Chains A and B, each alone.
Chain A
Amino acid sequence: MNKSYELIIIGLGPAGITASIYAARKKMNFLALGKSLGGQALWSSEVQNYTGFQFISGVELMEKFKEHMEKFNIKVNENEEVALVKKENEIIKVKTDKAEYESKTVIISSGKMPRALNIPGENEFKNKGVAYCATCDGPLFADMDVAVIGGGNSALDAVLGMMKIAGKVYLINRKAVLYADAVMVEKAATSEKVAILNDTEVVEIYGDDFVKGVKIKTKNAVKELSVEGIFVEIGSVPSSSFAEGVEKNEKGEIMVNCLCETNIQGVFAAGDVTNVAAKQIIIACGEGAKASVGAFSYLNAQKELI
Chain B
Amino acid sequence: MPKNVIVYGLSNCPYCIMVKKFLEDNKIVFENKNVGEDKSAAREMIEKTRQKSVPVIDIEGKIIIGFDKEGISKELGIETNN
Whether A127 and B53, one on each chain, are in contact in the complex, defined by CB atoms closer than 8 angstroms, is yes
- Are B53 and A131 interface neighbours, CB within 8 A? yes
Tell me the chain B residues, 34-82 only, with Cβ under 8 Å from chain A.
35-37, 39, 42, 50-54, 65, 68-70, 82
Interface status of A48 (Cβ within 8 A of chain B): no
For the complex formed, measure the closest distance between the CB of B53 and the CB atoms of chain A, giving whole angstroms.
4
CB of A139 within 8 Å of the partner chain = yes
Instruction: List the B side residues contacting A127 at CB < 8 Å.
Output: 51-53, 65
Give the number of chain B interface residues (Cβ < 8 Å). 23
Interface check A56, CB cutoff 8 A: no
Distance, CA A138 to CA B13, complexed state (A): 10
Q: Does A137 contact B (CB under 8 A)?
A: yes
Query: Would you call B39 and A136 a contact (CB within 8 A)?
Result: no
Closest to A41 in B: B14
For residue B38, give the distance in angstroms from its CB to the closest CB of chain A. 10
B3 on the interface (CB 8 Å rule)?
Answer: no
Evaluate contact between A139 and B53: CB separation under 8 angstroms: no
Q: Which residues of A contact B15 (CB under 8 A)?
A: 42
Q: Say whether B82 contacts A59, CB under 8 Å.
A: no
Pick the most buried of B21, B37, B50, B53: most chain A CB atoms within 10 A of its CB: B53
Contact A140:B52 (CB < 8 A) given known A59-B18, A77-B82: yes
Do B12 and A210 touch (CB < 8 A)? no
In Å, the complex CA distance between A136 and B52 comes to 12
Is A79 interfacial (CB 8 A cutoff)? yes
CB-CB under 8 A for A43 and B36, given A128-B52, A131-B53 = no
Residue pair A59, B69 in contact (C-beta under 8 Å): no
Interface check B17, CB cutoff 8 A: yes
- Residues facing A in B1-32 (CB within 8 A) are 10, 12-15, 17-18, 21
| In contact, A43 and B69 (Cβ under 8 angstroms) | no
A142 at the B interface (CB under 8 A): yes
Given A137-B54, A142-B36, A45 contacting B12 (CB threshold 8 A): yes
Asked if B82 and A76 make an inter-chain contact with CB atoms under 8 angstroms apart, the answer reads yes
Chain A residues 65-83 with CB under 8 Å of chain B are 75-79
Kindly identify, within residues 35 to 93 of chain A, every residue whose CB is under 8 Å from any CB belonging to chain B: 38, 42-43, 45, 58-59, 63, 75-79
What residues of A have a CB within 8 angstroms of the CB of B37 in the complex?
139
Which of A42, A76, A129 sits near B14, CB closer than 8 Å?
A42
Contact A139 B82, beta carbon cutoff 8 Å: no
Contacts A140-B52, A140-B54 aside, 14 further interface pairs with beta carbons under 8 A come to A59-B17, A127-B51, A127-B52, A128-B51, A129-B52, A133-B13, A136-B14, A137-B52, A138-B12, A139-B10, A139-B36, A140-B35, A140-B36, A229-B52
Q: Which residues of the partner chain B approach A133 to less than 8 Å between Cβ atoms? A: 13
Given the complex, which residues of B lie within 8 Å of A142, measured CB to CB? 36, 39
Kindly list the 8 A-B residue pairs having the minimum CB-CB distance in the complex, ordered from nearest.
A139-B36, A127-B53, A42-B14, A136-B13, A127-B51, A59-B14, A59-B17, A140-B52
Which residues of chain A are within 8 angstroms of B65 by Cβ–Cβ distance? 127
* Cβ contacts under 8 Å, B68 to chain A: 79
Let me know if A209 is at the binding interface, CB within 8 A.
yes
Q: A58 near B14 (CB under 8 angstroms)?
A: yes
Q: How far is the CA of A210 from the CA of B12 in the complex (A)?
A: 23
The contact of B10 among A63, A77, A78, A137, by CB within 8 Å, is A137
Most buried by B among A133, A135, A139: A139
Q: CA of A139 to CA of B35 in the docked complex: distance in angstroms? A: 8
